[in-house]
Amino acid sequence: MRVIAIYAAALKARGHHVCLVTPPLKPRQRWQHFRHSWRWLRGDDFGHSLFDGTDLHWRILPHWRPITNEDVPDADVVIATFWPTVAWVDGMSEKKGTKVFFAQHYEVAPGQTNDGIGDAWRRPIHKIVICNWMNRIAREEFGSANASLVPNSVEPKLFDAPPRSKRPSPTMGLLYYDDVPLKGCDESIEAFRKARERHPDLRLVAFGKTVRGKLPLPDDAEYFCQPDQHKIKDIYASCDAWLWGSYVEGFGLPVLEAMACRTPMISTPSGVSPEALAHGGGILVEPGDTDAMADAIGEVCAMSNEQWRAMSDRAYDTIQRGAWVDGFTNGYTWDDAADLFERALQDAAGAAPTDDQLESNIS
């Protein structure tokens, strides 16, 4: 939702007409959102607050149903932003514009298949993907030779930290999920417990969207439930390393966010991690290998302050140079990403950018 909001606002700022069409939450989703989110009581509905202040043309359907031709204005481009909506978009009139699938994940567990997701990816519409591994899937598994790669960026106003030293007591951090096994949170916690047997002064800091649930954290862990955005950077910066145990990840924005706050990563090679950690800003471990992650935690604990500072500086430098994106060495911002996104839409529509396109409708 955050990335969609960023691109919608950026396209509008470039002179395009942007219309967002959104079905409301299904009743079950609304109940789950109510149970897990105190922000619901303030009126924030499934990330809708991310669009506050953008002055975008936004249509929210009165009840949940598939989006149809009647809901969408005639346009130059129409974009599906989640795999179930690809079939909706693919069935729309040509008047709704060139059809594009903005794919932020390939939501299939390793070694498994999903017919619905496979059908969405096989449809012959232009795809915009956000990571190298998804680009390979689009091209090699589904024959999408014209897929556009548009990597995510990180917001420097939200995520930054000054140079620092190691913590007096080594401190690990993680993003807490108690209901998404593929995030590998349980394995990260187990690796922390194993490492703590060798380093009794090891501390754990975590934040997440739920009150601690069925997956218990250590009793002395410091936990923040749905912290305000401006506080998250301080959580990252309070840690000597950030644990990321995900089995499969579309991108993994927290990887860049932590590194932007000078926090090295201990990560599986999911999402953007292989590109982001290729420059020495962390340690890669195999998914599910709690012993390897525990060893990596121990490696960070055993570092001298000078060694740790060097890794911390490399993590920060990766973000400053935009080194996770091919062809960028002097930084990669959301403006750069928006340029690539706009170019991908123009490529999909089969036309070079012209002055007339600045008056186009993009829905």
Cα–Cα nearest to 225, from 262, 180, 176:
176
125 and 189 assigned to the same domain: no
89 and 13 assigned to the same domain: yes
Identify the helix (H) or strand (E) that includes residue 361.
strand 361-362
Q: What total of structural domains would you count in the chain?
A: 2
Q: Answer whether residue 42 shows pLDDT above 90.
A: no
> What pLDDT is attached to residue 355?
41
Q: Answer whether residue 44 shows pLDDT above 60.
A: no
134 and 178 assigned to the same domain: no
The answer as to whether 327 is a domain residue is no
Phi, psi of 47 (to 5 degrees): 85, 5
Identify the helix (H) or strand (E) that includes residue 108.
none
pLDDT 10s digits, 104-123: 999 887 777 889 999 999 99
Q: How many C-beta atoms lie closer than 10 Å to residue 190's C-beta?
A: 17
The answer as to whether 261 is a domain residue is yes
pLDDT interval class at 208 (50, 70, 90)? very high
Dihedral of the alpha carbons of 312, 313, 315, 321, in degrees to the nearest 10: 170
CA dist., res. 207 & res. 235, Å (int): 8
Structure token digits, residue 3: 């990335």
Residue 181 CB partners (closer than 8 Å, separation 6+): none
Q: How far is CA 245 from the centre of its chain?
A: 14
122 and 12 assigned to the same domain: yes
pLDDT interval class at 209 (50, 70, 90)? confident
256 and 140 assigned to the same domain: no
249 and 147 assigned to the same domain: no
17 and 144 assigned to the same domain: yes
CA atoms within 13 A on the CB side of 66: 12
CB contact at 8 A, 122 and 102: no
Strands 203-208 and 222-225: parallel
Give the C-alpha distances (Å, rounded to integers) separating 271 from 20, 24, 144, 152, 207: 27, 28, 20, 11, 20
CA dist., res. 338 & res. 169, Å (int): 41
